[in-house]
């Protein structure tokens, strides 16, 4: 049994309490408030992050797409990303993805939801890359539906690329999530994507009221990736409006475009969209976990212990007035004391 003391951002509200999280056999058994102290707490304890949308395969091509738009950079099948992935041998690809997994692990991420290219072999490569890492890789496979023999769900590129009816049926038959990109370059693929009744939508930059009413009716969560949308020049996701209709989770998208740092993604989102810090922290933790049924993302008894412990006395965080604001708007990888998982 272990007790982790500090300012605990517990429950779905992240209301800061001075206390301790009790962990036994990998699970949270209690969250206890303790008598306050005149001294500043030494730690901030929060749920470890869940990165709700990544493509870590293109870790082999970091910064290669600078200056390119969406089609040239990442669109299948002939983008720079796909050419670089095709040219990489399996060993190079696996090692690059493993390095990215270690980076995410060290910077506070407990799990990531990855859209993996190249079918069964691509999914197997990601499984190999994640072996031995203390981070959970939720694999959305691609290609033939048989990828679901290896993957945790199916990840579709977009409804304008294929009708994906067979893939959607296969995911439903196996009881696993079906996710799809929609509304990234424009709105033309949103209604066709919604016709597939997906379990998760990604991007929705160009979503309008008619689309979001369907999203609300279907109860479909959305993963947004604001920094990647900015780099690719496709616009800004209307996050405030999306939140009025459904749960919204935060992801970092392609590693070739941005480092998969949830600290950077949260700060950018906070300072670009004017959302309150509690909402953004929920997007970076709880929402991504709940989108695919992971047992993490909230500090409460009975949950798996996936915790991020920050040094509240670091040169960066010492003296902060609001720990939730500090986590979202100021904290960085340098403030990470440990990740408990």
Task: For 42-65, write each residue's pLDDT tens digit.
Answer: 999 999 999 999 999 999 989 877
Q: State the average pLDDT for the chain.
A: 95
Please give the Cα distance from 182 to 187 (Å, whole number): 8
161 versus 36: the higher-pLDDT residue is 161
pLDDT for 136-158, tens place per residue? 999 999 999 999 999 999 999 99
CA distances from 113 to 140, 178, 199, 200, 309 (A): 7, 12, 13, 11, 22
CA distances from 94 to 54, 104, 123, 254, 255 (A): 15, 15, 11, 16, 14
By the 10 Å C-beta count (0-12 exposed, 13-18 middle, 19+ buried), 25 is classed as: exposed
Selection from 120, 78, 79, 138 nearest residue 257 by Cα: 79
Which domains does the chain show, CATH number per domain? 2-48+296-340 (2.30.40.10), 49-292 (3.20.20.140)
Contacts of residue 164, Cβ cutoff 8 Å, sequence gap at least 6: 156, 180, 196
Q: How confident is the model at residue 69 (pLDDT cuts 50, 70, 90)?
A: confident
Under 8 Å between Cβ of 154 and 145: yes
**Does the CA dihedral 300-24-5-341 come out positive or negative?**
negative
Range 226-242 average pLDDT? 97
Tokens found for residue 85? 């992935």
Q: Is the confidence at residue 93, as pLDDT, over 90?
A: yes
Range 291-315 average pLDDT? 97
Q: Is the confidence at residue 319, as pLDDT, over 70?
A: yes
Percent of the chain with pLDDT over 70: 98
Q: Is the confidence at residue 229, as pLDDT, over 90?
A: yes
Under 8 Å between Cβ of 138 and 116: no
Please give the Cα distance from 246 to 225 (Å, whole number): 16
Q: How confident is the model at residue 310 (pLDDT cuts 50, 70, 90)?
A: very high
Q: How confident is the model at residue 71 (pLDDT cuts 50, 70, 90)?
A: confident
pLDDT of residue 87: 86
17 bridge partner residues: 8
Q: Is the confidence at residue 79, as pLDDT, over 90?
A: no
The angle at the Cα of 117, spanning 223 to 140, to the nearest 5 degrees, equals 45
User: Chain-centre distance of CA 282, in angstroms?
Assistant: 11
Under 8 Å between Cβ of 256 and 17: no
Long-range contacts of 208-215 (CB under 8 A, 24+ apart): 211/183, 211/187, 212/241, 212/242, 212/244, 212/245, 212/246, 213/245, 215/245, 215/246
Q: Which of 87-91, 105-109, 199-203, 244-248 has the least mean pLDDT?
A: 87-91
pLDDT of residue 88: 82
pLDDT of residue 66: 80
CA distances from 60 to 23, 31, 96, 142 (A): 37, 42, 6, 19
Q: How confident is the model at residue 159 (pLDDT cuts 50, 70, 90)?
A: very high
Q: Is the confidence at residue 260, as pLDDT, over 80?
A: yes
Q: How confident is the model at residue 76 (pLDDT cuts 50, 70, 90)?
A: confident
Match 């209709």 to its residue by tokens.
245
pLDDT of residue 131: 97
Under 8 Å between Cβ of 105 and 135: yes
Range 203-230 average pLDDT? 98
Long-range contacts of 313-318 (CB under 8 A, 24+ apart): 313/40, 313/42, 317/44, 318/40
Q: Is the confidence at residue 331, as pLDDT, over 60?
A: yes
**Is 21 in a helix, a strand, or coil?**
strand
Tokens found for residue 226? 């604001």
Under 8 Å between Cβ of 236 and 186: no
Range 152-178 average pLDDT? 97
């Amino acid at each position: 049994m272990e007790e982790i003391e500090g300012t605990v951002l517990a429950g779905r509200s992240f209301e800061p309490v001075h206390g301790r999280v009790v962990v036994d056999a990998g699970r949270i058994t209690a969250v206890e408030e303790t008598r306050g102290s005149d001294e500043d707490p030494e730690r901030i304890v929060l749920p470890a992050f869940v990165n709700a949308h990544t493509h870590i395969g293109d870790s082999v091509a970091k910064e290669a797409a600078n200056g390119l738009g969406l089609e040239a950079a990442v669109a299948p099948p002939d983008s720079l990303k796909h050419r670089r992935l095709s040219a990489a041998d399996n060993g190079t690809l696996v090692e690059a993805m493993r390095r990215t997994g270690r980076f995410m692990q060290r910077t506070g991420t407990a799990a990531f939801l990855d859209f993996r290219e190249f079918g069964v072999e691509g999914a197997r490569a990601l499984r190999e890359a994640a072996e031995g890492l203390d981070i959970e890789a939720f694999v959305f496979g691609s290609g033939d539906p048989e990828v679901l023999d290896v993957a945790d769900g199916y990840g579709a590129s977009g409804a304008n690329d294929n009708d994906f009816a067979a893939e959607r049926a296969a995911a439903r038959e196996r009881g696993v999530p079906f996710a799809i990109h929609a509304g990234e370059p424009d709105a033309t693929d949103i209604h066709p994507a919604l016709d597939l009744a997906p379990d998760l939508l990604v991007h929705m930059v160009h979503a309008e009221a008619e689309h979001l009413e369907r999203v609300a009716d279907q109860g479909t969560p959305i993963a947004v990736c604001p920094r990647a949308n900015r780099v690719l020049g496709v616009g800004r996701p209307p996050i405030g409006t999306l939140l009025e209709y459904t749960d919204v989770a935060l992801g970092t998208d392609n590693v070739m475009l941005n480092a998969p740092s949830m600290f950077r993604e949260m700060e950018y989102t906070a300072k670009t969209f004017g959302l309150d810090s509690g909402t953004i922290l929920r997007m970076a933790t709880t929402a991504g976990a709940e989108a695919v049924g992971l047992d993490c993302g909230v500090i409460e008894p009975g949950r798996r212990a996936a915790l991020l412990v920050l040094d509240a006395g670091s040169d960066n965080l010492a003296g902060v007035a609001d720990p939730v604001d500090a986590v979202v708007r100021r904290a960085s990888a340098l403030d990470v004391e440990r990740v408990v998982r």
